[in-house]
Amino acid sequence: MPDLRRESRDVANSLADRLALSCQRFAALTAVSDEDDALSYAEFGQRAEGLARELRASGLPRHAPVIVKVANRARDIVAFQAVWLAGGVVVPLHRDTPAQVLLEALSSVRPAAVVDGDTIDMLASQPEIWSSDLQGAALIVLTSGSTGKPKGVILSHAAFSGKLDANQSRLRFSPAAMSLLVLQITFSFGIWFSLLTLQEGGHLLIRRKFSPATIWDASSRYAVANLAVVPTMIRSLLNERQAMPRPLSSPRLLTGGEPLANTLIGSVLDMFPGAQIVDIYGLTETCTSDFMSIADSNTNKGGIGLPAPEIEFRIVDEQGEHVLKGEAGELQIKTPFIMNGYLNEPELTASAFSGKFFKTGDVARERHDGTVELVGRAKELISRGGNKIAPLELDHIIMRHPDVADVLTAGVPDQLLGERIHVLVVPKPGASLDESGLRDWLSERLDRFKRPDIYHFGREIPLGRSGKGDRRLLRESIIAGKIA
């Protein structure tokens, strides 16, 4: 297995250094604001330094993990910087995290402290010996657990700083430009979006929870330059746009978490005329944004585009052999911005790599023009009657129906077929969509073995903590009889 820390690109400064420099360069500009507070860069720096002094005085060891309870507040970003200035490692965890999940996090992370706003609760009464993987670490991001038990992904200052520079070379964030944050900062997408804004002197406008009204209100009152969302949020926006005020400007939309369906791209451009849509693919383990492309309804067609200049990729079969262009296999990525490893999971870390390539678990194919198209996740493939079906493919096709607002497909155990294909469909408001009509429509667009067996209709799809459709939760809800 490669030495992951040595594979990370060396940079001259840490995330703390970068934010401290911004506080000097852009002192008079607004750094971050939420519903209750607004801080200039000078005030941001002063508050972070004050909290960092308290952490040091409390005896925080260097490289010790610190759980930062977040709720998308300006003070949460201050706490991140304070922990970094004090030499600690940030472990973001939402304030509303269920008690059992919090206990599991405390047990696996063994934090030295918990920070909630400006409140510090020191936990370690005696010096702990933390993993050597925490040397130089900036973050431990707890994954959403879409493939099972949540994992603690250790990301270094070097890797994350390098990824910020790589993203800036393509996105060109600018001083005083407003970035609207509705993503949670427990996840890497929300974190790098926030830090890139602050690194470049922008104004990070934070809203605690996503709703269509929140985005429409902010975009009608402010000239929002950048907006980061997941496709589920875009679909919600489209469903309610008729009742909302017109935006002052068309922000650049950064979207990731799942491939952006072609049908959404045209609708977004109607909603925000002239907007640029940047479709992003990446993983927490690689500091995200490994592929980044300008989405276009005429050319995108389900692809994630070309890899970033720093990224190498390959697509391999189950034996690890390269597949031909056009054939599906596992997407593997080699990047200088790689994680230190999974916290206290050396065997899991080793198994995540094939040589120096990270095994994404995503099934993809390389097109003849060199762009990459996602087919689905290897662990999400539905095994029905001996056939392997990618639920993501079904989602994309069903989303093309003019009366469908949202959809999520999952395999549910079946004694005869192994699994049956269940689909949960959310009709557009006022649409008269029924199972019979949808079956007829799909009969012209899907092979027989790929067509859903069971149809469910509802008002919304189940979402995971990251805001993406959660197939595991859908499957469990169907088995438990919670979805009829």
Question: Which pair of tokens denotes residue 134?
Answer: 């925490």
Q: Which residue has the tokens 């972070």?
A: 48
- Which residues are CB-contacts of 478 (< 8 A; sequence separation ≥ 6)? 410, 412, 422, 456
Q: 12-33 burial string, b = 16+ CB within 10 Å, else e?
A: eebbbebbbebbeebeeebbbb
Per-position pLDDT tens, the chain of length 484 = 444 443 333 334 799 999 999 999 999 999 999 999 999 999 999 999 999 999 999 999 999 999 999 999 999 999 999 999 999 999 999 998 877 678 888 888 999 999 999 999 998 655 677 778 899 999 999 985 444 456 899 999 999 999 999 999 999 999 999 999 999 999 899 999 999 999 999 999 999 988 888 998 898 899 999 999 988 788 888 877 776 777 777 889 999 877 777 778 888 888 888 889 999 999 999 998 999 988 765 555 567 888 998 999 999 998 999 999 999 999 999 999 999 999 999 999 999 999 999 999 988 999 988 889 888 777 777 878 767 788 888 998 899 999 999 999 999 988 777 789 999 999 999 899 999 999 999 988 887 878 999 999 999 999 887 778 889 899 999 999 988 7
pLDDT at 414: 85
Q: Which residues of 284-321 are buried (b: 16+ CB within 10 A; e: fewer)?
A: bbbbbbbbbbebebeebeebbbebbebbebbbbeeeee
Q: How many CB atoms lie within 10 A of CB 360?
A: 22
Q: How many CA atoms lie within 13 A of 315 on its CB side?
A: 21
Q: Which CATH class is domain 381-479?
A: alpha beta
H or E segment at 266? helix 262-271
Distance of alpha carbon 463 from alpha carbon 408, whole angstroms: 10
Query: Per residue in 96-117, is it b (16+ CB within 10 Å) or e — as a string?
Result: ebeeeebeebeebbbbbbbbbb
246 SS3 class? coil
Tell me if 347 sits within 8 A of 382, measured CB to CB: no
What letters, b where the CB count within 10 A reaches 16 and e where it falls short, cover 51-85? bbeebeeeebbebbbbbbbbbbbbbbbbbbbbbbb
The domain segmentation of the chain, as residue ranges, is 4-366, 381-479
Kindly report the three-state secondary structure assignment for every residue of 349-404.
Answer: HHHCEECCEEEEEEEEEECCCCCEEEEEEHHHCEEECCEEECHHHHHHHHCCCCCE
Please state which CATH class domain 4-366 belongs to. alpha beta
Kindly report the CA angle at 283 between 219 and 162, in degrees rounded to 5?
80
Among the listed residues 237, 235, 229, 230, the one whose alpha carbon sits nearest the alpha carbon of residue 212: 237
| Residue 270 pLDDT | 83
Q: In what order do the strands lie in the sheet with 277-281?
A: 38-40, 30-33, 203-206, 178-181, 224-229, 252-256, 277-281, 291-294
**E-assigned strand segments in 161-308:** 178-181, 203-206, 224-229, 252-256, 277-281, 291-294, 303-305
Q: What's the number of CA atoms in the CB half-sphere (13 Å) around residue 240?
A: 14
Predicted local distance difference test score (pLDDT) of residue 339: 97
Residue 186, token pair as written in the block: 């427990």
Residue 434 neighbours by CB under 8 Å, 6+ apart:
none
What is the longest distance spanned by two Cα atoms in the chain?
69
| Partners of residue 254 on adjacent β-strands | 228, 278
Kindly write down the DSSP assignment for every residue of 46-107, as one continuous string: HHHHHHHHHHHHTTPPTT-EEEEEESS-HHHHHHHHHHHHTT-EEEEEETT--HHHHHHHHH
Given CA atoms 234, 162, 168, 208 in this order, what sign does their dihedral have? positive
- CA–CA separation, 112 vs 78, rounded Å? 18
Report pLDDT for 101. Answer: 74
Report, in angstroms and rounded to the nearest whole number, the Rg of the chain calculated over CA atoms.
22
